[in-house]
């Protein structure tokens, strides 16, 4: 008989709301406790999702022995400190992407989890979605041949506000860490780690990246073109081109349900894999699968992938002139 997992939610913002919706949908999981520095938010979430308890500080959540795993849903500037606190309290952790502000922080988090035999996973929900599984299987089956080129974008027009998370440097603002991670994740998943990175970017008045236009080259001379921005709307589409054809992922590609395969011989095939909830259910099920089987990391979001993505983001931000240290 499989276990019922009691989740602790650290942070009560918009992303936590969507995650809790999916938690209530997935059988075998429950929103057990919610913690926020704003007690009214914590209580509101607890009431909304029938949580057993709520806290007005994070330490009480960490010390709750009834919690099986903690989902960290705070701004990414706090991920390193909060994840390390959870791990030091012997808690399994699902940390919302990006795992941290730098490769150094991410590598330290992963090393500590490994040393203490604790589960740790970065919440790149896209990696757990069925459309990604299907695309990877098509590539493995050589349907589009050897991948040669990946393009992906993610951009939206954020109103300039010096206090908003998008523009606030102390919260890890800018496009790369928040949404650029999605295109970087996709090309890393398909092509691996780049050997050459070239970035054209623009900074905001708060010294975070307003946009990053990135060209990547790989050891076998494949290339990728990625774009992230918080200053204008983009198509939010992705494409993988191989020697025999291409895969086009529809908007919004990072949580896609539909994509198409166009082969060089003129053959076309369309795929549609609807989400049963809001998309977070796949990530939650993957975490539960790992815990059920005693795994310390996910095969869908392995530590190696998180480290490679973090390394690439570090270099893009370095070339853009952004430092969070």
**Within-domain flag for 99:** yes
**Within-domain flag for 288:** no
pLDDT band at 244 (very low <50, low <70, confident <90, very high): very high
42, 36 Cβ separation under 8 angstroms: yes
User: What is the tally of structural domains in the chain?
Assistant: 2
**Within-domain flag for 118:** yes
Residues 86 and 138 in one domain: no
H/E stretch holding 240: strand 238-242
pLDDT band at 160 (very low <50, low <70, confident <90, very high): confident
Question: Would you state the structure tokens that stand for residue 289, as one six-digit string?
Answer: 């699968």
131, 256 Cβ separation under 8 angstroms: yes
278-282 mean pLDDT: 98
Longest dimension (CA), the chain: 61
Question: Which tens digits make up the pLDDT trace of 81-134?
Answer: 999 999 999 999 999 999 999 999 999 999 999 999 999 999 999 999 999 999
The sheet that has 245-249: what strands, in order across it? Answer: 196-203, 209-217, 223-229, 147-155, 238-242, 245-249, 258-263, 268-272
Question: Which tens digits make up the pLDDT trace of 9-56?
Answer: 999 999 999 999 999 999 999 999 999 999 999 999 999 999 999 999
Residues 155 and 240 in one domain: yes
294-322 mean pLDDT: 98
pLDDT band at 163 (very low <50, low <70, confident <90, very high): confident
pLDDT band at 2 (very low <50, low <70, confident <90, very high): low
Residues 195 and 229 in one domain: yes
Q: What is the pLDDT of residue 3?
A: 82
Question: Which tens digits make up the pLDDT trace of 245-258?
Answer: 999 999 999 999 99
Residues 35 and 151 in one domain: no
Domain that holds residue 108: 5-124
pLDDT band at 325 (very low <50, low <70, confident <90, very high): confident
Q: What is the pLDDT of residue 319?
A: 98
**Within-domain flag for 297:** no
At residue 32, the 3 state secondary structure works out as strand
Residues 208 and 220 in one domain: yes
Residues 239 and 271 in one domain: yes
- Side-chain half-sphere CA neighbours of 147 within 13 A: 26
**Within-domain flag for 36:** yes
We report the CATH number of the domain holding residue 110 as: 3.40.50.720
Closest of 312, 324, 323 to residue 199, by C-alpha? 312
Closest of 227, 257, 236, 237 to residue 320, by C-alpha? 227
- The residue from 124, 155, 178 where one domain ends is 124
pLDDT band at 271 (very low <50, low <70, confident <90, very high): very high
- Side-chain half-sphere CA neighbours of 314 within 13 A: 18
- Averaged pLDDT score across all residues of the chain: 97
DSSP state of 148: E
pLDDT band at 168 (very low <50, low <70, confident <90, very high): very high
Residues 15 and 149 in one domain: no
Q: Exposed, middle or buried: residue 272 (CB in 10 Å: 0-12, 13-18, 19+)?
A: exposed
Q: What is the pLDDT of residue 50?
A: 96
Residue 1, pLDDT above cutoff 50: no
**Within-domain flag for 61:** yes
Cα separation, 160 vs 100, whole angstroms: 24
We report the CATH number of the domain holding residue 160 as: 3.30.360.10
Residues 156 and 110 in one domain: no
Cα separation, 302 vs 128, whole angstroms: 11
**Within-domain flag for 301:** no
Question: Which tens digits make up the pLDDT trace of 210-230?
Answer: 999 999 999 999 999 999 999
158-172 mean pLDDT: 90
275-283 mean pLDDT: 97
Question: Would you state the structure tokens that stand for residue 269, as one six-digit string?
Answer: 């095939």
Output 300-306 pairs: Cβ under 8 A, ≥24 positions apart. Answer: 300/127, 300/128, 300/132, 301/121, 301/122, 301/123, 301/124, 301/127, 301/128, 303/110, 303/114, 303/120, 305/124, 305/127, 305/185, 305/188, 305/189, 306/99, 306/106, 306/110, 306/122, 306/124
- The residue from 124, 142, 159 where one domain ends is 124
H/E stretch holding 226: strand 223-229
Question: Would you state the structure tokens that stand for residue 309, as one six-digit string?
Answer: 């993505």
**Within-domain flag for 287:** no
Residues 142 and 202 in one domain: yes
Q: What are phi and psi of 308, to 5 degrees?
A: -65, -45
Q: Which residues are CB-contacts of 138 (< 8 A; sequence separation ≥ 6)?
A: 144, 247, 261
Cα separation, 239 vs 229, whole angstroms: 18
């Amino acid at each position: 008989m499989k276990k019922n997992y009691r989740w602790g939610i650290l942070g009560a913002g918009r992303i936590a709301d969507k995650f809790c919706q999916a938690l209530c949908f997935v059988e075998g999981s429950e929103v057990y406790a919610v913690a926020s520095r704003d007690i009214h938010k914590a209580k509101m979430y607890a009431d909304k999702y029938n949580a057993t308890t709520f806290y007005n500080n994070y330490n009480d959540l960490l010390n709750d022995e009834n919690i099986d795993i903690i989902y960290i849903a705070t701004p990414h500037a706090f991920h390193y400190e909060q994840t390390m606190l959870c791990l030091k309290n012997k808690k399994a952790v699902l940390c919302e992407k990006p795992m941290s502000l730098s490769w150094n922080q991410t590598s330290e988090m992963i090393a500590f989890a490994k040393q203490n035999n604790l589960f740790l996973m970065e919440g790149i929900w896209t990696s757990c979605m069925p459309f990604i599984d299907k695309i990877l299987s098509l590539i493995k089956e050589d349907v589009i041949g050897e991948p040669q080129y990946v393009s992906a974008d993610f951009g939206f027009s954020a109103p300039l506000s010096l206090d908003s998370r998008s523009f606030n440097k102390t919260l890890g603002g800018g496009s790369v860490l928040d949404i650029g991670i999605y295109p970087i994740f996709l090309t890393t998943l398909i092509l691996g780690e780049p050997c050459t990175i070239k970035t054209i970017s623009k900074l905001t008045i708060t010294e975070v990246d307003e946009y990053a236009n990135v060209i990547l080259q790989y050891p076998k001379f494949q290339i990728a073109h990625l774009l992230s921005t918080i200053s204008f709307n983009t198509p939010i589409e992705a494409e993988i081109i191989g020697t025999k054809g291409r895969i086009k992922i529809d908007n919004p590609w990072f949580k896609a349900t539909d994509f198409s395969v166009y082969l060089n011989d003129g053959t076309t095939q369309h795929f549609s894999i609807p989400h049963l909830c809001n998309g977070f259910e796949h990530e939650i099920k993957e975490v539960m699968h790992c815990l059920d089987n005693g795994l310390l990391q996910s095969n869908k979001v392995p530590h190696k992938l998180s480290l490679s993505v973090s390394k690439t983001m570090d270099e893009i931000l370095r070339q853009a002139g952004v430092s969070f240290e």
